[in-house]
Structure 1
Amino acid sequence: MSRLMGNFAYFFILAGVHCVQQIQWLPCQFTDEQVTKNEEGHFDTQLIHRQAMLQFGQKGDAPLNPHTITFLITGSKLDLRRYVEQVEAEQLECELRRYSTEGIHVHWPGQEAKEYNRWFTCTLKHNQGLFTVTGFLRHPSDHAPPGQQDFRRWPAISDTEKLTTAVAMVIKTQRPSVKARLGSQQKLHCQFSVDHRGANVTVEWHRQHHGERTKLFSHTSRTKLVQGSGVELKALAGGDASYTLPFTKVKSDGAYICSVLVNPLFGSVDINLHIEEPPRVSLNVGPTLVLQEGSEQKVICEAENYYPLDVDIVWYEQDPNTSGQRVGLPLPKVLPNILLSSHKHNQDMTYSVSAFFYLQASTRHSEREYICSVSHQSLRMPIKKRFILKVEEPFSWMFFLIVSFIILVLLAVLVVMLCYLNSGE
């Protein structure tokens, strides 16, 4: 029995290792930079897209593809693959870039005394927008950085070069894009990790909307200085920098930036919060509208309290002779000459609008179904409100007077005859 349990534990451990290390390499785009000075003395940056490979292994490993640039990520306390677990390699988009420290040289824990660092960023994105992960790759070098404007004199990288690196810092968000309704509580996810303890970490949150940037929160681990609110400090100590919005409003819409500074590294992730409030749709008539032939009725379809602004309202009519058919059912006919009211800007910053038409009652239109369809980006399917028109024949007052007159004459004759008969007795 003990041997069976031991074998089970062994295979369980193997399965776990395979799960974590299932991605051995990734094809990446290396966005290189070439800086030149133009005739006016200004510097122009040309982006050069080069093919590269992100390879996971140990120091000294040979490139899996010797004909391309290889970024070999060796073991450290941070394994970039742990941040993309349960995802197939085909679902990842990988981009590598150089990173400028602007001349700041900091002795990173774990590096040799006379060693310098060249820095790169590796950004992994899910192709369906489920997460974004950025890792800072440290490449040891014997050459000192070229100064504050190091981006002007990047060391050349050949097409077959292998760069041995280690992950120094990671920042991630699980939800780069968030849709929220008004009045909801939203937690904007942001987490980070550093490959050593005791780092002086500064975490900030900003909101950017229509060109205005507002600081929401700031915390520095060494000084314990806190500005703003929305981040749990206890969770922050463990690398969870998520920001909580307790009650969303229309003005909550915008881009939220979570940034982490560990000198000389500065990383950030953007979370786009989209406020979407679905419209409330109503008609000014009931499920059945009864009219007399020749009369006119203003029929209004109102969409209220939606956000953002764009909404589409279409009126349809359906012939009663085809409404019960299932095979070959013709599409409802779009009503022409629909009028729209001006948009109403409500106190809560939402919008309202109505679409209406004047219905001329005719017996040939009786039993027709009228449908108001409202589409908005917050809706998966349009909201539809409908009613059935019933048209009655007009009531004739002349016919009523003639019939009443005849009845009165007959009653008068009857009274006279009764009186005559009574007098004869």
Structure 2
Amino acid sequence: MIEVLFFGCFLTFVNADGVADVVLSCSLVEEGAGLGGMGGGALFTRTPATLVLRDVPVGPDESLDTLTPFVPPSVPDPDLILFENKGDSFFLQRLASVSVKSAPFVLNLSRSVPAVSSAEIPNAVMLLHADCNELEVMCEISRYAPRGLPERSDPAYFMVSLSVEGLDISTSLILQTLPVEKDQSTLTQNKLSLPLSQSGTLQTKVIFLVFSNINSVSAPLRGDVLLNCGFKQEETSLAPEVGLEWRLQHRGKGRKVLEMKRELDNTEGATVVHGERKGSSVDAAQALREGNVSMSLTELKVGDEGTYICTVNLGNFHAQQVIQLHIVQPPQVSLSEEKLILQKSSPQTLSCHCAKYYPLDTQMEWFFLPPTESEPKLFPNQGSLSSHRQHGDGTFSLSSHITIPPSFSPGTKITCKVSHPAMDEPLYVSIVVESPQPDSYWWVLGFLVVTVLFFYQVMK
């Protein structure tokens, strides 16, 4: 599947009662005609669309005088694609709460407890003014066909993919169209063939969403990680049971990591959790209370790296989030010599060893600092590299070899600089060139001379 991204921005309109109408520039994505490529049309067509999230509460610090409520077009336009979401815009509430709370889930999502209504959000202005904060917003809308229902059912359903890159969070939400009282003046949206409201909008509500607070995470080899994923549904439950599946995709291969089924209307109901990867787990109690279906992985291996897909199923509906897991392990760096003594007649080889690191990307550089200078210099010839060696645990080792000429001055500092994605800053290991020692011949001759003189003095 070709993924088409449309980058838009948040526009915010604040009403007098302290709630905001958030307007998103989106793209309606539909399957196109033709086979694509040189001989046909595009695989997908994209049409500009707008999504309005009504009545999102804002914080007390928001200046209401500087913003005005969103007003739909004075003359309804059947060519305009304008989705209007009625009721609680809980997606924006969740976004704001994430930015100010350490806990990733703050809304109760289960059937046994009523859905949380709109609440005042601290720092919501930062999110509602994403364009002012230079945060990239992606909004993509497409038709959604629930399992077991006709493709063009009434009501109609749409899948909306939203992400805010600067906040590293994303969501997939399902919109359901609301009934429209039709009369002779009712217009029909030309492209979607759906009735419009009197203001010319497609009135909808969010019935289900799946979200994540992270798009990508790095974790150390043999460490633990929590892959964040959650869901929320409208107050009237869509199904009595929730199904969860975590899958891993990497280098063209896929496998199931964990599967769970849980009753939502029974706090003591049976939970079926099957983890195919040892050390994988989901907190079933949090899944019921908070919609938190995050997965924990322990004792990470190189083989755990890849793309994780969190899919939540509620009756006829399902949505998912994708999270990238990167395994990292910093190198163990050492030099081949503890002391480096110059040889007058021949050059010497100094090696820098990087051991047991992951991933493969590493860079090694050599510098030297003469005793008479203050800034190190890059070796003109960076020497040679050994071939990469891969160990049984998937980590790598590499060595760099440099030649030290006899012309180097004693006191010169030689440094090996190592850069690797697992380290925030490069690692430096150094050695100082020492003066050459006298030849052993002169040591022996000197010893003999001293010995002869000693005995000569004794025998006198």
TM over 0.5: yes
The number of residues matched between the two structures is 368
Instruction: Write the deviation string for residues 260-281 of structure 1: whole angstroms up to 9, x where unpaired.
Output: 1223322000011000111111
Quote the Cα distance in structure 2 between the aligned partners of 1:38 and 1:208: 27
Contact 1:293 1:394 in 2 (8 A): no
Q: Confirm whether residue 80 of structure 1 aligns to residue 91 of structure 2.
A: yes
Identify the structure with the greater helix proportion.
Answer: 1
Name 2:45's counterpart in structure 1.
47
What SS is found at the alignment partner of 2:303? helix
Q: Confirm whether residue 245 of structure 1 aligns to residue 256 of structure 2.
A: no
Quote the Cα distance in structure 2 between the aligned partners of 1:245 and 1:138: 35
Contact 2:195 2:202 in 1 (8 A): no
What SS is found at the alignment partner of 1:365? coil
1:231, distance to aligned residue in structure 2 (A) = 1.1
Contact 2:389 2:398 in 1 (8 A): yes
Name 2:352's counterpart in structure 1.
301
Q: Confirm whether residue 167 of structure 1 aligns to residue 212 of structure 2.
A: no
Name 1:7's counterpart in structure 2.
none
Which residue of 378, 389, 396 corresponds with 1:333? 378
1:348, distance to aligned residue in structure 2 (A) = 1.2
Name 1:146's counterpart in structure 2.
none
1:361, distance to aligned residue in structure 2 (A) = 3.1
Q: Structure 2 unaligned segments of length 5 or more: list them.
A: 1-13, 57-68, 97-122, 182-190, 264-269
Which residue of 314, 327, 332 corresponds with 1:262? 314
Query: In structure 2, do the counterparts of structure 1 residues 263 and 397 end up closer, same or farther at CA, with 3 Å as the change threshold?
Result: same
Which range is displaced more, 304-313 or 208-217?
208-217
Listed as ranges, the matches of 1:22-37 within 5 Å are: 23-33=20-30, 35-36=32-33
Name 2:7's counterpart in structure 1.
none
> What root-mean-square deviation, in Å, do the aligned CA atoms of Structure 1 and Structure 2 show?
3.6
Query: In structure 2, do the counterparts of structure 1 residues 308 and 198 end up closer, same or farther at CA, with 3 Å as the change threshold?
Result: same
Identity, in percent, stands at 22
Contact 2:365 2:382 in 1 (8 A): no
- Amino acid aligned to 1:227: H
- Amino acid aligned to 1:213: G
TM-score if structure 1 supplies the norm length? Answer: 0.75
Q: Confirm whether residue 317 of structure 1 aligns to residue 386 of structure 2.
A: no
Query: In structure 2, do the counterparts of structure 1 residues 394 and 409 end up closer, same or farther at CA, with 3 Å as the change threshold?
Result: closer
Instruction: Write the deviation string for residues 92-141 of structure 1: whole angstroms up to 9, x where unpaired.
Output: 614131233167439xxxxxxxx921112223212225211222111135
Which range is displaced more, 49-58 or 162-171?
49-58
Name 2:427's counterpart in structure 1.
383
Contact 2:348 2:403 in 1 (8 A): yes
Which residue of 439, 450, 453 corresponds with 1:395? 439
Quote the Cα distance in structure 1 between the aligned partners of 2:445 and 2:337: 33
- Amino acid aligned to 2:166: Q
Q: Confirm whether residue 351 of structure 1 aligns to residue 396 of structure 2.
A: yes
Name 2:165's counterpart in structure 1.
127
Structure having the higher Rg: 1
Q: Confirm whether residue 197 of structure 1 aligns to residue 237 of structure 2.
A: yes
TM-score if structure 2 supplies the norm length? Answer: 0.70
Which range is displaced more, 290-299 or 211-220?
290-299
Quote the Cα distance in structure 1 between the aligned partners of 2:195 and 2:360: 50
Name 1:110's counterpart in structure 2.
none
1:181, distance to aligned residue in structure 2 (A) = 0.4
1:33, distance to aligned residue in structure 2 (A) = 1.8
